[in-house]
Structure 1
Amino acid sequence: MRYLPHSAAERAEMLGVIGATDIDALFSAVPKSALRSFDLDLPAHSPEFLVERHMRALAAKNHAAGDGPFFVGAGAYRHHVPATVDHLIQRSEWLTAYTPYQPEISQGTLQMLFEFQTQVAKITGMDVANASLYDGSTATAEAVLMARRITKKNKVVLSGGLHPHYRDVVKAYLKDDPDLVCLSPSPEGQGDILSQVDNKTAAIVIQTPDFYGHLRDLKGAAEAAHAQGALLIVVITEVVSLGLLEAPGALGADIVVAEGQSIGNALNFGGPYLGLMATRKDFIRQMPGRLCGETVDAEGNRGFVLTLSTREQHIRREKATSNICTNSGLCALAFSIHMALLGEAGFVRLARLNHASAIKLADALTAVTGVEVLNDTFFNELTIRVSEPAAPLVERLARRGILAGVPASRLLPGDAEVENLLVLAATELTTDLDIEALTTALAEELA
C-alpha cells in the first residue's frame, strides 16, 4: 500500500526532492506483480489520543501473568523483580559504548560484565564464565560445539529430559548430524543416557531440573562421561534452583549453561532472554562470546578490559570459536543488579521459597481425583498426568482466569504418550489462594 500526501502539489514536491518523475518511478524497483492496484480496507486516520484509547482497549483484553493464578514455567518463570533493578539499569553510568572496544571510556559496562561473570561462576561452581550469550537454548548449542572442539570427537548425546526447544536448536546448529543422538522424551525424562556413552562421545547433555521437573544425578553422569574421555554439559532452565541445589561444578560438570531470565528479567512476551555459560579454566580459550578481565592502568588503578578474544575474531567465520558476535548486555546488567540485591543469603532464601511453594502445590494436586503427580524429585516445577487431554483442559481453566501450566503436547506435538501431561511451576509469587483456586477448578473440570 502506498501512502500519498493529500494534494497533488504536495506529492509533486516530495517526488521532486528525491528526483523521481512520478509515483511509478518511485516504485520502479518493485515487481509489478507485487504492487496492489486497489486500496486496502483500513480505517481512516485518527487523532493520536483516539489511537491510544483504542490500543489500551486492545491491551486490556490480555490476561497478564499477574492477573490471577499463574503456574506457567517450562523454561520461562515468573519471579518478583525489585523496582530497584529497572531504576538502576537506566542510570547514565551504564550508557557507555555498546561494544566496549575503548576500555578507557567503557569502564561502567566492563565492570558490570566482570561482576556478572563472577556471579555466574560462583553459582555454577565453575572456574570462569563468559559475559553472556543470547539465551539458554543457543548457549546449549554453543556448549555442544565447544565440547567437540575440545575433545576432537563428534558424537553428542542429548538427554530425553532436555527442553524440546533446546533440543531443536542444537539439531539446527548441527544440521541433523548423524553423530547427534537425541534420546526420546518421556514422562520419566532422561532415558538411559549412560549406556550411549562410548569412546567416540564428545559430550552428554543433561538438564536438571529437567523439562518434566525431575532432578538428575550429575555426579554419576560425570564419572561415566569422563571414563570415556567425554565431557558433561549441564543445562539449567531455572537458574534460581542453583540457590538450593549443589553447584554442577562441584559434581563434575565440564560446561554449565543456563537461562538467566529468572533473575532481574520479567516475562515479556517471550524475551529478551539471557544465556549463561561457565566452564573449567582449562577450556577457557574454547569458550565463545565475550570475556572481561581485571587489570591495572599505567598509574596502577584498577580497570577492566575485554580479554583473550575480540568480536572481530568471531566475524572470521571459518576460524572462529563461535559466530555469536554480541551478548545480552542489558539483560545481563539486570541479572547482575538483582543478584547483588539478593546477596548469597537472599539467593538461597529465594530458592527455598520456590521449593516450599512447589511442595504445597504437589501436596494439593495429589488430593485431586483424576490427577497423578509424576515426580519423586523436583525444585519448583513438576509434571502431572490428568484423566483427559491436557491442552483443552488448560484452555478451559484459562477461561476461568487460571493459567494452569504448559501441556507437554504443546512442545512435543504428535507424541501420544504426553497428551495427558501438564507441566506446572510454582515460585515465590504463588500464594496458597492461587493453589486452592487451581485445585478447586481442576477438580470441577475433571469431575
Structure 2
Amino acid sequence: MKHPYLPGTDKDLEIMLDRIGVSSVDALFKAVPANVKLQEDLKLDPAMTEIDVRRKVGAMANKNKSIDDLTCFLGAGSYDHYIPSTVKHIISRSEFYTAYTPYQPEIAQGTLQGVWEYQSMMCMLTGMDVSNVSMYDGPTAAAEAAMLATGSQRRNKILVSEGVNPETRQVLESYLRSRDVEIAYVPLTEDGQTDTAKLADLLDKEIAGLVVGYPNFYGIVEDFSEIVEKVHANKSLFIMQIDPLAMGLLKTPGEIGADIVVGEGQSLGQNLNYGGPVLGFMNITEKLVRKAPGRIIGRSIDVDGNPAYVLTLQAREQHIRREKATSNICSDQTLNSIAAAVYLASMGPEGMKEAAIQSAQKAHYLAKKLEATGKFKMKFNAPYFKEFVMETDLDAGKMNEELLKQGMLGPLSLDSCGLPGAVLFCVTENRSKEEMDKLVAALEVI
C-alpha cells in the first residue's frame, strides 16, 4: 500500500498490523460505521519536492503584511512595541526550552530561575505581593481572576466596567456562564470613565468583585480612588486589567489598592505574531495566594547550600486533591514569561519609563495634529495614555483601505462598540514624527 505523503512501505504496514494482531487496515477501523468512512482518496495535489513546497508556501506567506511591512497605528489589545534584540537571543538557549510545566526541578533550573525572575519583576512593576505563571492570555487571565474572586468571597456575581476590552468581556461571559456566575456591567460616563454613581447602585452583598481597565479600552486613565473605597467597603475585590507598559508612567495597582491585577503580557517583548502565542499574567495580594491559579515558583537552598528553584505552589487538580483545585491552566506559557523577564531586565526601570513617556507624548502629538486637520475631534475629555478615540465623518473602512495602500495600518473602527463614527488610534514609542506626519498628510487628502 503506497501513500503519496507517508514514507511507510507495504512491508512496514504488514509488520505493524501483525504486531497489534489485526489482519488489515479495514479491520483496524471496523468499529467506525461505513456511512461515515471516506470511500475515496482525499483530493490532494500531487506530491511535490521540498524545493517546490518551500517556493509555494513562501509565495502564500508573502501575501501577508506584517508590521515589518506596515506602519502600525492600530492597538486595542495587541501593540507594536520595541523589542530589544537580547530577548530573542536569550530565549533561544536550550536551557529555557520547555514543552510543558517544569515538573523535574533537577533538570529545569534554568527555566525555573527565569520564571522566578519574571515573577519578581512583575511584582515590582505592579506593586503587588505575588505573581503567578502562567495564564494563556489577558482575557482568560481576567476570567480566572473573576473566578478567584467568586470563590474567595463566596459570592456569585461580578461587576465589569464597560471600559474593559470587549474581547475580555466576551471571554468573561463564556467562562462564567458555565459556573452560574452572573455578570453586571457598569456603564461609562460621557467622558468614557466608569460611572461611580451607577457603580454605587449596583454594589450589593452578592458582588464578589469589580473588573476595570487601566488604562481602559478607550485609552483613558481613570482615577479609581473613590471606586476602590466603595468596592472594599462592600467587602468585594478590586480587579484591574492593566497595560503593563503603562506602569512605567502611572501609579501602580498596588498603590491604588488592587486585590488582583491581570493583563496581557504581549507588550513585554512579545512579537504580534498575528495574535499569538502570548501570555497572560496575574498578580495578587498575599492573602489570596492559596487561591491563585497556575503556578508559583519559589527559591530555596539545596543540600549543598546552593540556591535552588522549585514549583512551590501548584493549583491544578493534577497536583492536589481535585476538590481543592483552583485552576484549569493546563498548557504552559513559560517561554513567553521568560521572554517577558528578559525584556524587563533589558529595559530596566529607566527603559520602561522612557518607553511609556514616549508612547504618551507621541500619542498626544498625533491627536493634536489630527484635530488640526478639521476632520477629527476628540471623543472624550479625559486623560489618556497611548490610545485615544476620535470622531470623524470619514468612512472608517474606506479610510483604512487608503491607508493600507500607503503602507499604514490605520485605526480601529468603534462602530461595533456602539460608537458610530468613532475610531481608536494607537501610538507607541516605535512611531517616529515622520511616520505620524505622513499619516496626517494622508488623512488630509482622503
Give the TM-score normalised by structure 2. Answer: 0.90
1:348 maps to 2:349: no
Q: Secondary structure at the match of 1:363?
A: helix
After TM superposition, the structure 1 stretch with the greater mean CA deviation from structure 2, 183-192 or 392-401, is: 183-192
Any conservation in 2 of the 1:314–1:322 contact (CA below 8 Å)? no
Alignment correspondent of 1:59: 61
Cα gap change, 1:33/1:433 in structure 2, threshold over 3 Å: closer, same or farther? farther
Any conservation in 1 of the 2:101–2:332 contact (CA below 8 Å)? no
1:17 maps to 2:23: no
Task: Kindly state the Cα deviation for residue 423 of structure 1 after the two structures are TM-superposed.
Answer: 1.3
Q: Distance in 1 between matches of 2:167 and 2:71?
A: 25
1:197 maps to 2:203: yes
After TM superposition, the structure 1 stretch with the greater mean CA deviation from structure 2, 337-346 or 395-404, is: 395-404
Which amino acid in structure 2 is aligned with residue 405 of structure 1?
P
Which amino acid in structure 1 is aligned with residue 345 of structure 2?
A
Any conservation in 2 of the 1:96–1:108 contact (CA below 8 Å)? no
Cα gap change, 1:21/1:103 in structure 2, threshold over 3 Å: closer, same or farther? closer
1:244 maps to 2:249: yes
Q: Distance in 1 between matches of 2:25 and 2:271?
A: 46
Any conservation in 1 of the 2:163–2:216 contact (CA below 8 Å)? yes
Q: Secondary structure at the match of 2:263?
A: strand
Cα gap change, 1:65/1:25 in structure 2, threshold over 3 Å: closer, same or farther? same
Alignment correspondent of 2:441: 440
Any conservation in 1 of the 2:116–2:298 contact (CA below 8 Å)? yes
Which amino acid in structure 2 is aligned with residue 250 of structure 1?
E
Task: Kindly state the Cα deviation for residue 404 of structure 1 after the two structures are TM-superposed.
Answer: 0.4
Q: Secondary structure at the match of 1:276?
A: strand
Q: Secondary structure at the match of 2:273?
A: coil
Task: Kindly state the Cα deviation for residue 235 of structure 1 after the two structures are TM-superposed.
Answer: 0.5
**1:256-301, Cα deviation, whole Å (9 max, x unpaired):** 1111111111110110111111111111111111011121122322
Alignment correspondent of 1:280: 285
Residues 288-307 of structure 1: pairs in structure 2 closer than 5 A: 288-307=293-312
After TM superposition, the structure 1 stretch with the greater mean CA deviation from structure 2, 389-398 or 62-71, is: 389-398
Q: Distance in 2 between matches of 1:58 and 1:15?
A: 35
Q: Distance in 1 between matches of 2:406 and 2:244?
A: 31
1:328 maps to 2:328: no
Cα gap change, 1:234/1:140 in structure 2, threshold over 3 Å: closer, same or farther? same
Any conservation in 1 of the 2:133–2:296 contact (CA below 8 Å)? yes
Cα gap change, 1:18/1:303 in structure 2, threshold over 3 Å: closer, same or farther? closer
Q: Secondary structure at the match of 2:326?
A: coil
**1:106-136, Cα deviation, whole Å (9 max, x unpaired):** 2211111111111111111111111221111
Q: Distance in 1 between matches of 2:270 and 2:171?
A: 22
Alignment correspondent of 2:230: 224
Q: Distance in 2 between matches of 1:369 and 1:58?
A: 41
**1:51-95, Cα deviation, whole Å (9 max, x unpaired):** 211222222221111213211111000112122111111213324
* Match of residue 180, structure 1, among 175, 179, 183: 183
Q: Distance in 2 between matches of 1:85 and 1:178?
A: 40
Alignment correspondent of 2:85: 83
Any conservation in 2 of the 1:86–1:334 contact (CA below 8 Å)? yes
1:386 maps to 2:392: yes
Give the TM-score normalised by structure 1. Answer: 0.89
Alignment correspondent of 2:155: 153
Cα gap change, 1:310/1:377 in structure 2, threshold over 3 Å: closer, same or farther? closer
Which amino acid in structure 1 is aligned with residue 154 of structure 2?
K
After TM superposition, the structure 1 stretch with the greater mean CA deviation from structure 2, 269-278 or 362-371, is: 362-371
Q: Distance in 2 between matches of 1:326 and 1:178?
A: 25
Cα gap change, 1:97/1:32 in structure 2, threshold over 3 Å: closer, same or farther? closer
Q: Distance in 2 between matches of 1:335 and 1:43?
A: 42
Identity of aligned residues (%): 39
Task: Kindly state the Cα deviation for residue 142 of structure 1 after the two structures are TM-superposed.
Answer: 0.8
Any conservation in 2 of the 1:160–1:189 contact (CA below 8 Å)? no
Residues 262-277 of structure 1: pairs in structure 2 closer than 5 A: 262-277=267-282
Task: Kindly state the Cα deviation for residue 22 of structure 1 after the two structures are TM-superposed.
Answer: 5.6
Cα gap change, 1:41/1:301 in structure 2, threshold over 3 Å: closer, same or farther? closer
Cα gap change, 1:420/1:185 in structure 2, threshold over 3 Å: closer, same or farther? farther
Alignment correspondent of 2:171: 169
Q: Secondary structure at the match of 1:170?
A: helix
Task: Kindly state the Cα deviation for residue 224 of structure 1 after the two structures are TM-superposed.
Answer: 1.1
Q: Distance in 2 between matches of 1:98 and 1:15?
A: 33
Cα gap change, 1:33/1:391 in structure 2, threshold over 3 Å: closer, same or farther? farther
Q: Distance in 2 between matches of 1:138 and 1:124?
A: 19
Any conservation in 1 of the 2:379–2:422 contact (CA below 8 Å)? no
Task: Kindly state the Cα deviation for residue 25 of structure 1 after the two structures are TM-superposed.
Answer: 4.3
Any conservation in 2 of the 1:187–1:374 contact (CA below 8 Å)? no
* Structure 2: runs of 5 or more not aligned: none
Q: Distance in 2 between matches of 1:85 and 1:142?
A: 28
Q: Distance in 2 between matches of 1:96 and 1:4?
A: 36
**1:134-181, Cα deviation, whole Å (9 max, x unpaired):** 111111011111111222222211000110111111111111746310
Any conservation in 2 of the 1:388–1:420 contact (CA below 8 Å)? yes
**1:177-216, Cα deviation, whole Å (9 max, x unpaired):** 4631024578744442522222332111110111111111
Q: Secondary structure at the match of 2:54?
A: helix
Q: Distance in 2 between matches of 1:97 and 1:62?
A: 28
Any conservation in 2 of the 1:218–1:248 contact (CA below 8 Å)? no
Q: Distance in 1 between matches of 2:75 and 2:371?
A: 19
Q: Distance in 1 between matches of 2:373 and 2:333?
A: 42
Pairwise CA RMSD: 2.5
Task: Kindly state the Cα deviation for residue 349 of structure 1 after the two structures are TM-superposed.
Answer: 1.1
1:70 maps to 2:68: no
Alignment correspondent of 1:405: 411
Q: Secondary structure at the match of 1:435?
A: helix
Q: Secondary structure at the match of 1:113?
A: helix
After TM superposition, the structure 1 stretch with the greater mean CA deviation from structure 2, 189-198 or 127-136, is: 189-198
Q: Distance in 1 between matches of 2:99 and 2:78?
A: 30
Cα gap change, 1:183/1:47 in structure 2, threshold over 3 Å: closer, same or farther? same
